[in-house]
């Protein structure tokens, strides 16, 4: 606070700016002709004027509560003016780190720990370049202190250096991954125009693409390349029809199980050898195990971010309203960022509105009856489709024995793809009757209905393959199943492509030119996501019988991304009801894990442990079961000295039912504990929200009471108020001058706005 004897000279001191400052004034400064005793031109930076104005205007409110005027920040600003232009930060050669404020920040950062220092620098409202420079300066200061201090423990220095190198490497790697991330710009455009609900579909597609890239790299490295070294010449002729049927020329290639050798690959006597049986089963098993743990890890991560963390209950309002990334300077990027923020704000407001809606008892009863009827109809349709597919599969096997037409094998995939195309659209029509208020609930219901339909059809086909085809007199039943799965995957891709290019385009023409009341359609998230889950289920199911299937799925996903993106921009409109989809990815991954991936694991487990391989093809020919090759390898290792521990691990852990029972019990206990922690956090957060609301109401109530008491006191004793004002004037001479000073500073701002070129 300024002394009372200097208070009358505040405006004079501000106007008497040293001449050194005048030489460094920037374009944001003002020129004022003062009609008072000092007629000289005074030029003051607008930041100083803003500081004075804010202090004087705030005094107008403080005066009513009998408080003294405080000019601490003003005093600091004026003292900085007298010190010279380098402290104001207005010199072009003077950076933030050279100012008094920057030096104070550096001095406070030096004694901090590494984690606190990084967190503090990250929270600074500075550009990335300034933050990096600040970190370098702090590191230099730390090194100077270390050299000047006593000898530090060598282990501590080593650990500190390793920790710093690790953090820098992780930061650089994270920046590199963000830079090379697929379709990053496209994702921003989709999120800004259609919201996070539609964006969740494309995020899920990219997530599945990473799985297939990994699976293809594994199979190509450990199966396809070794098989190429011993592959025989293909005697079939390529006609082009193989792309649709998967048979013919492709039968004797690395595409299918039957082409792989069962011998040990060894190119010279005494050299290293490669056991194709173990490589085949361990490579496929490693792919599935890594996918299993990746799914679990992804579910846990998304569940923690979208269900457990407390910030999700605040909906990020503070981030949306009060935060802006000032490093975004490009015009298109700024507009895209604005679109993203506006869409997120609409989604949050829509959720708040939906939470406040309440239905009457009759409305709830009507909706419950409608939902039950819709579920009965959808379940009946799914059951009828499963029965039709089963009888068609039996008929198709008899039909193919008498007809050698290559195109006849496409009958079953064609019918299954027609069912998968028509029935989900029939399910989507239920929304006209059910009328969900919350769009997320509608998507969840459609997803569950469609997943029941498609997984049931896949289950019927698996039963047909494992109980009819595998036990028949087929020459190589593994290759036959691989061809069936290839045709199903390809036909599903063709139908999806035709639906996106033709069906959605025709729907746009009808809605915009012929029946304008329909207008543009909205993107059906549930149906499109189920198409991805269905295709990925087939890819995982066929990886044992067709090792190149992940590569085919990878190509189809890339093509579908670009086709869906173009179709979305041309044929769809943004959702009429904005809603957040932060928890949708978690639900998508859960459906992919169960029942999709778990069903695939069960099917392959039955195949490997129960079924007998073909006698004339494949790497396991002549064995009683596929797993017998692993048993023989373990017995061989057990007989060698130094490898008995491998047999012990298998017999006591992997092959023990008790071990898996205990492991399952531990997982269930941990899951239950996490669920209880989540519920407890939810309850605590709700209680804290209610407490904040109640405290706000209490404060408003007390302020109203205090205001009423002050008004009553003023009316009852007006002379006391006059004496109180005189007492304030005696202690604070600026009380009578603050209004004129505030008016004078506002005049300065008006002069600056009217004369920007002066």
Range of lowest pLDDT (369-383, 557-571, 592-606, 635-649): 635-649
What mean pLDDT comes out for the span 43-72?
Answer: 39
d(CA 408, CA 423): 24
Give the pLDDT of residue 657.
Answer: 78
What mean pLDDT comes out for the span 626-652?
Answer: 83
CB 514 within 8 A of CB 432: no
Dump pLDDT digits (tens) for 251-305. 889 999 999 998 888 877 777 888 999 999 999 999 999 999 888 888 877 777 6
687: preceding bond cis by omega (within 30 degrees): no
What mean pLDDT comes out for the span 467-493?
Answer: 90
Give the pLDDT of residue 31.
Answer: 36
Q: Please indicate, yes or no, whether the overall pTM of this predicted structure exceeds 0.75.
A: no
d(CA 191, CA 339): 8
Residues, the chain = 758
Give the pLDDT of residue 257.
Answer: 93
The DSSP secondary-structure symbol of 91 reads S
Model confidence band, residue 100 (pLDDT cutoffs 50, 70, 90): confident
Range of lowest pLDDT (177-191, 218-232, 600-614): 177-191
Model confidence band, residue 222 (pLDDT cutoffs 50, 70, 90): very high
Give the pLDDT of residue 456.
Answer: 92
Q: Which of 475, 483, 484 lies closest to 613 in space, CA to CA?
A: 475
**331 token code pair:** 């015009």
Most confident residue range from 149-163, 278-292, 518-532, 656-670:
278-292
Phi, then psi, of 339 in degrees rounded to 5:
-65, -45
**87 token code pair:** 């402290």
The whole-angstrom distance between residue 495's C-alpha and the CA centroid of its chain comes to 29
Report domain extents, the chain: 4-94+717-754, 192-312+367-624
Give the pLDDT of residue 17.
Answer: 41
Helix (H, G, I), strand (E, B) or coil at 30: strand
Strands 521-522 and 572-573, how do they pair? parallel
Percentage of the chain beyond pLDDT 70 is: 71
Model confidence band, residue 494 (pLDDT cutoffs 50, 70, 90): very high
Give the pLDDT of residue 395.
Answer: 84
Model confidence band, residue 137 (pLDDT cutoffs 50, 70, 90): confident
Range of lowest pLDDT (169-183, 448-462, 645-659): 169-183
What mean pLDDT comes out for the span 91-112?
Answer: 73
What mean pLDDT comes out for the span 369-378?
Answer: 91
Phi, then psi, of 749 in degrees rounded to 5:
-60, -40
What mean pLDDT comes out for the span 494-520?
Answer: 85
Dump pLDDT digits (tens) for 284-296. 999 999 999 888 8
Residue 92 pLDDT > 50: no
Dump pLDDT digits (tens) for 677-736. 878 877 888 888 889 889 988 999 999 988 888 888 878 777 766 666 666 555 555 444
d(CA 686, CA 660): 39
Give the pLDDT of residue 4.
Answer: 44
The whole-angstrom distance between residue 360's C-alpha and the CA centroid of its chain comes to 37
403: left (phi over 0), alpha (psi -120 to 50) or beta: beta
Model confidence band, residue 362 (pLDDT cutoffs 50, 70, 90): confident
Per the prediction, the chain carries an average pLDDT of 76
Residue 215 pLDDT > 90: yes
Q: Which of 26, 130, 1, 12 lies closest to 88 in space, CA to CA?
A: 26
Signed CA dihedral, 443, 446, 449, 452: sign only: negative
Q: Which of 415, 510, 497, 420 lies closest to 456 in space, CA to CA?
A: 420
Give the pLDDT of residue 436.
Answer: 77
What mean pLDDT comes out for the span 130-158?
Answer: 70
Give the pLDDT of residue 322.
Answer: 58
Model confidence band, residue 661 (pLDDT cutoffs 50, 70, 90): confident
What mean pLDDT comes out for the span 731-747?
Answer: 51
What mean pLDDT comes out for the span 547-552?
Answer: 94
Give the pLDDT of residue 482.
Answer: 93
Give the pLDDT of residue 21.
Answer: 39
Secondary structure tally for the chain: helices H, strands E:
31, 6
What mean pLDDT comes out for the span 166-172?
Answer: 76
- Higher-confidence position of 43 and 513: 513
Percentage of the chain beyond pLDDT 90 is: 23
CB 183 within 8 A of CB 206: yes
Give the pLDDT of residue 729.
Answer: 56
The DSSP secondary-structure symbol of 237 reads P
Burial profile 96-126: b = 16 or more Cβ within 10 angstroms, e = fewer: bbebeebeebeeebeeeeeeebbeebeeeeb
**At CA 578, angle to CA 572 and CA 582, rounded to 5?**
105
Give the pLDDT of residue 306.
Answer: 65
Helix 549-571 to helix 477-498 angle, to the nearest 10 degrees? 10
Range of lowest pLDDT (9-23, 96-110, 317-331): 9-23
Model confidence band, residue 670 (pLDDT cutoffs 50, 70, 90): confident
Helix 276-303 to helix 584-591 angle, to the nearest 10 degrees? 150
Dump pLDDT digits (tens) for 4-53. 444 444 333 333 444 443 433 333 333 333 333 333 333 444 433 343 34
Most confident residue range from 36-45, 390-399, 467-476, 490-499:
490-499
What mean pLDDT comes out for the span 420-435?
Answer: 87
């Amino acid at each position: 606070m300024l002394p009372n004897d200097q208070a009358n000279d505040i405006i004079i001191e501000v106007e008497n700016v040293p001449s050194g400052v005048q030489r460094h004034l920037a374009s944001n400064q003002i020129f004022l002709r003062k009609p008072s005793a000092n007629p000289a031109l005074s030029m003051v930076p607008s930041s100083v004027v803003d500081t004075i104005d804010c202090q004087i205007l705030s005094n107008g409110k403080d005066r009513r509560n009998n408080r003294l005027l405080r000019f601490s920040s003003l005093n600091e600003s004026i003292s900085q003016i007298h010190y010279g232009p380098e402290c104001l930060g207005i010199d072009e050669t003077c950076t933030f780190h050279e100012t008094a404020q920057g030096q104070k920040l550096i001095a406070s950062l030096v004694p901090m720990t590494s984690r606190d220092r990084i967190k503090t620098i990250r929270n600074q409202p500075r550009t990335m370049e300034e933050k990096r420079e600040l970190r370098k300066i702090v590191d230099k200061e730390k090194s100077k202190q270390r050299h000047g201090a006593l000898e530090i423990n060598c282990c501590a220095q080593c650990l500190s250096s390793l920790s710093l190198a690790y953090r820098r490497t992780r930061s650089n790697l994270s920046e590199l991954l963000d830079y090379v991330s697929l379709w990053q710009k496209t994702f921003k455009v989709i999120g800004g125009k259609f919201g996070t609900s539609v964006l969740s579909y494309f995020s899920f597609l990219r997530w599945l693409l990473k799985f297939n890239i990994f699976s293809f790299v594994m199979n190509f490295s450990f199966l396809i390349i070794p098989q190429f070294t011993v592959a025989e010449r293909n005697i079939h002729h390529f006609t082009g029809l193989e792309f649709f049927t998967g048979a013919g020329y492709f039968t004797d290639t690395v595409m299918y199980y039957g082409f792989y050798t069962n011998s040990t690959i060894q190119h010279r006597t005494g050299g290293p050898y490669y056991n194709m049986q173990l490589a085949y089963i361990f490579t496929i098993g490693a792919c599935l195990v890594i996918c299993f743990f990746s799914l679990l890890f992804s579910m846990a991560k998304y569940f923690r971010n979208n269900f457990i963390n407390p910030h999700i209950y605040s909906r990020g309002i503070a981030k949306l309203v009060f935060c802006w990334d000032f490093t975004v300077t490009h015009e298109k990027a700024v507009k895209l960022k604005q679109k993203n923020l506006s869409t997120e704000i609409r989604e949050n407001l829509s959720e708040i509105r939906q939470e406040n809606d309440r239905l009457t008892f009759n409305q709830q009863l009507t909706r419950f009856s409608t939902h039950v009827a819709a579920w009965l109809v959808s379940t009946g349709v799914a059951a009828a489709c499963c029965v039709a597919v089963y009888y068609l599969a039996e008929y198709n096997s008899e039909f193919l024995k008498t007809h050698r037409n290559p195109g006849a094998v496409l009958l079953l995939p064609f019918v299954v793809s027609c069912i998968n195309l028509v029935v989900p659209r029939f399910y989507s029509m239920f929304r006209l009757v059910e009328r969900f208020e919350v769009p997320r609930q509608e998507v969840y219901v459609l997803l569950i209905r469609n997943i029941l339909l498609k997984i049931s059809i896949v289950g019927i086909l698996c039963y047909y393959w494992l109980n009819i085809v595998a036990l028949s007199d087929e020459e190589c039943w593994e290759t036959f199943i691989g061809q069936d799965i290839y045709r199903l995957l390809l036909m599903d891709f063709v139908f999806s492509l035709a639906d996106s290019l033709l069906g959605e385009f025709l729907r746009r023409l009808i809605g915009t030119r012929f029946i304008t009341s329909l207008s543009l359609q909205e993107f059906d998230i549930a149906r499109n996501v189920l198409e991805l889950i269905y295709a990925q289920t087939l890819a995982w199911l066929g990886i044992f019988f067709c090792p190149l299937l992940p590569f085919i799925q990878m190509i189809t996903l890339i093509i579908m991304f670009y086709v869906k993106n173009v179709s979305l921009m041309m044929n769809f409109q943004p959702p009429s009801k904005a809603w957040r989809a932060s928890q949708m990815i978690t639900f998508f991954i859960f459906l992919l894990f169960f029942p999709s991936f778990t069903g695939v694991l069960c099917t392959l487990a039955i195949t490997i442990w129960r079924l007998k391989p073909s006698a004339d093809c494949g790497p396991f020919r002549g064995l009683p079961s596929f797993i017998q090759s692993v048993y023989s390898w373990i017995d061989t290792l057990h007989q060698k000295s130094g490898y008995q521990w491998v047999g012990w691990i298998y017999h006591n852990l992997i092959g023990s039912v008790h071990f898996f029972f205990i492991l399952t019990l531990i997982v269930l206990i941990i899951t239950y504990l996490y669920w209880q922690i989540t519920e407890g956090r939810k309850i605590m957060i709700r209680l804290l929200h209610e407490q904040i609301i109640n405290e706000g109401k209490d404060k408003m109530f007390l302020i109203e009471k205090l205001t009423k008491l002050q008004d009553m006191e003023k009316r009852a004793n007006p002379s006391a108020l006059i004496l109180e004002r005189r007492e304030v004037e005696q202690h604070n001479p600026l009380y009578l001058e603050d209004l004129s000073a505030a008016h004078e500073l506002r005049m300065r701002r008006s002069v600056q706005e009217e004369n920007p070129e002066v």
